[in-house]
């Protein structure tokens, strides 16, 4: 068996290493068009920002170490230009010598990745305008910073890499402006949750410009003028383009492989393409979204590594299947962490999938132990049966481990009732006796069984809005038109409440209003608990401001 692997990023080396572990006698050749294999792409912004100071730490493996440990013939600076499936050969360009030659294969794994999108805008190729995709790009950006000492940078695009770059350039002391053509940062989140991220960026001195696409780049007195669609100009010293990636499917097209409707390589659950001798993994392939059922592009290292292992398994006789993606993602920005898994509201609405939602604001661990930080959690679930559909969390400590639990729950097809039964590790330094995941399950389950009928701020009309906090809290930031009746006084004032209109209850985060809901419901009132309380109102209201 001769296996040829194309691409030295996340998927290629994983596939080659797995292949060697399955077959000591196979001949394995790995082609990489650049200098490096197995480098930590996700660490590049932090290398530029100086958080990671040793460049060598980014090199997970080197061609030499890979050859020695796995007996894989690694050929760097070797660009595969074409695939000829009829004769099972690839055409390779040696970029150092210019020699063009062919290499035979029995099985082929394509892991060509994706390339940064370079907009066709005037000045996009001028000096000082960069994209970040590999270690060489990072070296070039660092050299520019060292030589030019820029004082102001513009980051185009407010996705994960763009915001990480904004943070790290800010840490280097630069003034930073993030510009985004959409009306929010982090499109993986819904706009209300993304507002919390934007608020953090602003609090750390990063200017955020939304709903205003870039129109052009021009030189202005040895600096760069970034002109926006609105006509505004931002003068800066460097620009980072981070507007997404495009799957590299040229090789697949040269081989006549099927391309999916999203523009990625079409593969089956075994990661096999339309040619039975060619497999494909990573950023260039389309995979099924577990919740929505659609095929999507998912340029993440975790899925690429799993797909690579699955492809190698199937090539060497072990049946293995890729079960789809949830798009689980997490990002740390300054002092917060934002994470998401499953579908968001935008995806559910676009696919006509019925859902209910709830907000809660739990703490990372028991509040009596010092250092607890509050998080905002948004849970999306099916109104029929309570299947967990998606979760978004923004906060400090503890966000990462909770999103992993929700990801596991969605993968297992669990319901919100199932969340209440999870036995999660508890010690006051790390959690609570009722973990935030359990609490999310309780809140959602109470909605489903009717113990706490829910309404959201945009639907609380045509009735009485009742603030059940203290008088002092109500005086501080009560909702206009609302009435105040503290939860502890409700039983003594039932006669003062109307029975002919709905009563919408709120408090700070939804806990006291839940207690009030139970009291009034059992006394025959038509009540709704406003999900997430006054904190949710602030998020929703302020997220509507671009």
38: Cα separation from own chain's centroid: 22
Q: At CB < 8 A and 24+ separation, what contacts does 227-235 make?
A: 228/179, 229/181, 234/154, 234/177, 234/179, 234/209, 235/152
Q: Which tokens is 141 given? A: 């950006």
Give dist(CA 296, CA 280) in Å, integer. 15
CB–CB of 373/398 below 8 Å?
A: yes
Helix (DSSP H) and strand (DSSP E) numbers for the chain: 15, 31
CA-to-CA distance for 381 and 519, rounded, in angstroms? 26
Cα 505 from chain centre: 33
User: How many Å separate Cα 242 from the centre of its chain?
Assistant: 14
- What is the per-residue DSSP string for 107-123? EEEE---EEE-----TT
Q: Kindly calculate the radius of gyration of the chain based on its CA atoms and give it in whole angstroms.
A: 27
CA distance 288 to 307: 12
Spatial distance between the Cα atoms of 356 and 345, rounded to a whole number of angstroms: 10
- State how far the Cα of 92 lies from the Cα of 102, in Å rounded to an integer: 6
| 159, 181 contact by CB (below 8 A) | no
Query: How far apart (Å, rounded) are the C-alpha atoms in residues 454 and 527?
Result: 9
Q: How far is the C-alpha of 44 from the C-alpha of 237, rounded, in Å?
A: 20
Q: Active site residue: 42, 272, 329, 507, which one?
A: 42
Catalytic, 236? Answer no
- In sequence order, the β-bridge partners of residue 272 are 279
Q: Residue 73: in which H helix or E strand, if any?
A: strand 73-75
Q: Which residues are catalytic?
A: 42
């Amino acid at each position: 068996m001769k296996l040829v692997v194309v691409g030295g990023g996340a998927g290629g080396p994983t596939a080659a290493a797995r292949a060697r572990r399955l077959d000591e006698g196979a001949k394995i050749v790995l082609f990489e068009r650049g200098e490096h294999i197995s480098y930590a792409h996700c660490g590049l912004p932090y290398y530029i920002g100086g958080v990671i100071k040793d460049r060598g730490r980014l090199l997970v493996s080197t061609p030499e170490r890979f050859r020695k440990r796995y007996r894989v013939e690694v050929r760097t600076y070797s660009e595969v230009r074409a695939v000829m499936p009829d004769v099972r050969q690839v055409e390779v360009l040696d970029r150092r010598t210019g020699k063009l030659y062919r290499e035979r294969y029995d099985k082929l794994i394509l892991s060509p990745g994706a390339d940064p999108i370079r907009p066709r805008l005037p000045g996009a190729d001028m000096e000082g305008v960069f994209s970040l995709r590999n270690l060489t790009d990072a070296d070039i950006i660092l050299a520019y910073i060292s030589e030019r000492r820029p004082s102001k940078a513009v980051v185009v695009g407010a996705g994960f890499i763009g915001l990480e770059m904004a943070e790290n350039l800010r840490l280097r002391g630069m003034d930073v402006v993030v510009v985004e053509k959409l009306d929010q940062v982090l499109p993986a989140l819904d706009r209300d949750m993304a507002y919390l991220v934007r608020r953090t960026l602003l609090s750390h001195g990063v200017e955020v410009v939304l709903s205003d696409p870039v129109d052009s780049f021009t030189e202005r007195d040895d600096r760069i003028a970034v002109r926006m669609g609105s006509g505004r100009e931002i003068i800066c010293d460097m620009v980072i383009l981070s507007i997404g990636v495009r799957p590299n499917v040229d090789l697949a097209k040269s081989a006549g492989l099927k391309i999916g409707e999203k523009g990625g390589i079409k593969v089956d659950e075994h990661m096999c393409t339309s040619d039975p001798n060619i497999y494909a993994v990573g950023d260039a392939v389309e995979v099924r979204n577990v919740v929505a059922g659609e095929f999507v592009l998912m340029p993440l290292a975790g899925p690429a590594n799993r797909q690579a292992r699955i492809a190698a398994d199937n090539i060497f006789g072990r049946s293995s299947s890729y079960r789809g993606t949830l798009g689980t993602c997490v990002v740390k920005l300054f002092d917060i962490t934002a994470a998401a898994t499953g579908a968001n509201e935008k995806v559910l609405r676009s696919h006509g999938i019925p859902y209910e939602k709830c907000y809660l604001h739990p703490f990372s661990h028991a509040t009596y132990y010092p250092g607890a930080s509050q998080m905002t959690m948004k849970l999306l679930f099916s109104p029929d049966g309570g299947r967990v559909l998606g979760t978004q969390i923004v906060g400090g400590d503890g966000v990462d481990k909770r999103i992993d639990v929700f990801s596991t729950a969605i993968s297992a097809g669990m319901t919100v009732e199932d969340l209440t039964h999870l036995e999660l590790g508890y010690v006051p330094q790390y959690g609570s006796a009722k973990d935030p995941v359990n609490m999310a399950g309780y809140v959602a389950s109470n909605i489903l069984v009717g113990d706490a009928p829910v309404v959201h701020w945009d639907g609380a009309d045509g009735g009485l809005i009742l603030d059940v906090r203290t008088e002092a809290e109500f005086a501080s930031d009560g909702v206009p038109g609302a009435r105040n009746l503290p939860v502890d006084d409700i039983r003594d004032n039932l006669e003062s409440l109307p029975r002919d209109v709905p009563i919408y209850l709120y408090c700070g985060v939804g806990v006291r209003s839940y207690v009030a809901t139970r009291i009034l419901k059992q006394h025959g009132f038509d009540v709704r608990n406003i999900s997430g309380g006054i904190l949710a109102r602030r998020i929703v209201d302020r997220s509507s401001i671009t």
